[in-house]
Amino acid sequence: MNFARTKFFNSSSAVVATILTWERNVVKFVYLDEANKKLQEENASLKKKIASNFISIDSSTVKINDTIRKLSFQEIPATVINSTYNYPNNYFTIDAGTAKGIKKKMGVVSSDGVVGIVYDVSKHFSVVKSILTSNINISAYINNSDAYGIIKYENGNPRSVQLTGISNDIFIKKGSQVKTRGSAGYFPAGTPIGVIESITPIEGKPLWNITVRLKQDMRKLRYVYVIKNLHQLELDTIEEKINELK
């Protein structure tokens, strides 16, 4: 009787152990699948950025190698540890600062698109001015168009911003991609911002009121990259000459 009972318990334990092993494997598979999908999305995003991360040193030469192309931008990974999105001017804090090479006025992006510009820094943390800020003033253009304007946050909706300064004699198509011009050097040219959601004329002005739905849902922002422009000082120095001409 004891032998039979022992055999039963041993068999039951083996069955339970097998079931638990299956369960762990299923959970592990699901987790790895989700992680792999995220990595694939990140890799796809990075591949799209590769061309814009380099500038040509010698455009007259057909052959392309490391001696005639030079890295222009670097990305510093960080995590958002505090944020707001329901005020007229919003900010978020990241867990990276001067110790990792971050400085004021560096652009910040997620794997989806533009999210802000560094406002202030300490050794280990940075406060970022969110794209949901009235005076964010990011220069942007409409893809497949010569039209460009300034991104502002005016409507109080955390899912969208306004593209201002576009003349209403320019044909604008709903659904068009809006991207950075790269004129201030904060972001590589062509970094995604969002998609045109609506277009209406501004009463009494020869301008369009353009609403852009953001690529990144700022309410769900978690992982970001701070953009380091390796030629920022050179750009700032040469553009100071413009102010001397005014």
State how beta strands 223-229 and 107-109 pair. antiparallel
Q: What is the pLDDT of residue 109?
A: 96
Q: pLDDT for 141-194, tens place per residue?
A: 999 887 999 999 998 999 999 999 999 999 999 999 999 998 788 999 999 999
Query: What is the CATH T-level fold of the domain 138-216, as seen in this structure?
Result: Thrombin, subunit H (2.40.10)
* pLDDT, mean over the chain: 81
Closest C-alpha among 246, 239, 84, 113 to residue 187: 113
Closest C-alpha among 138, 147, 151 to residue 182: 138
The average pLDDT across 109-116 equals 96
Q: pLDDT for 54-100, tens place per residue?
A: 555 554 444 334 444 455 889 999 999 999 999 999 999 999 999 99
The average pLDDT across 197-207 equals 95
CATH value of 72-133+220-245 in 1.20.120.10, 1.10.10.2160, 2.40.10.340, 3.40.50.300: 2.40.10.340
Give yes or no on whether 72-133+220-245 and 138-216 have one common fold: yes
* 26 or 84, which is more confident: 84
Residue with tokens 């867990």: 95
Query: What percent of the chain lies above the pLDDT cut of 70?
Result: 71
pTM of the predicted model over 0.75: no
* 15 or 96, which is more confident: 96
Q: What is the pLDDT of residue 182?
A: 87
Where exactly are the structural domains of the chain? 1-49, 72-133+220-245, 138-216
Query: What percent of the chain lies above the pLDDT cut of 90?
Result: 59
The average pLDDT across 3-31 equals 52
SS3 of the chain:
CHHHHHHHHHHHHHHHHHHHHHHHHHHHHHHHHHHHHHHHHHHHHHHHHCHHHEEECCCCCCCCCCCCEEECEEEEEEEEEEECCCCCEEEEEECCCHHHCCCCCCEEECCCCEEEEEEEECCCCEEEEEEEECCCCEEEEECCCCCEEEEECCCCCCCEEEEECCECCCCCCCCCEEEECCCCCCCCCCCEEEEEEEEEECCCCCEEEEEEEECCCHHHCCEEEEEEECCHHHHHHHHHHHHHHC
Q: pLDDT for 137-146, tens place per residue?
A: 999 999 988 7
Assign 238 a pLDDT band (cuts: 50, 70, 90). confident
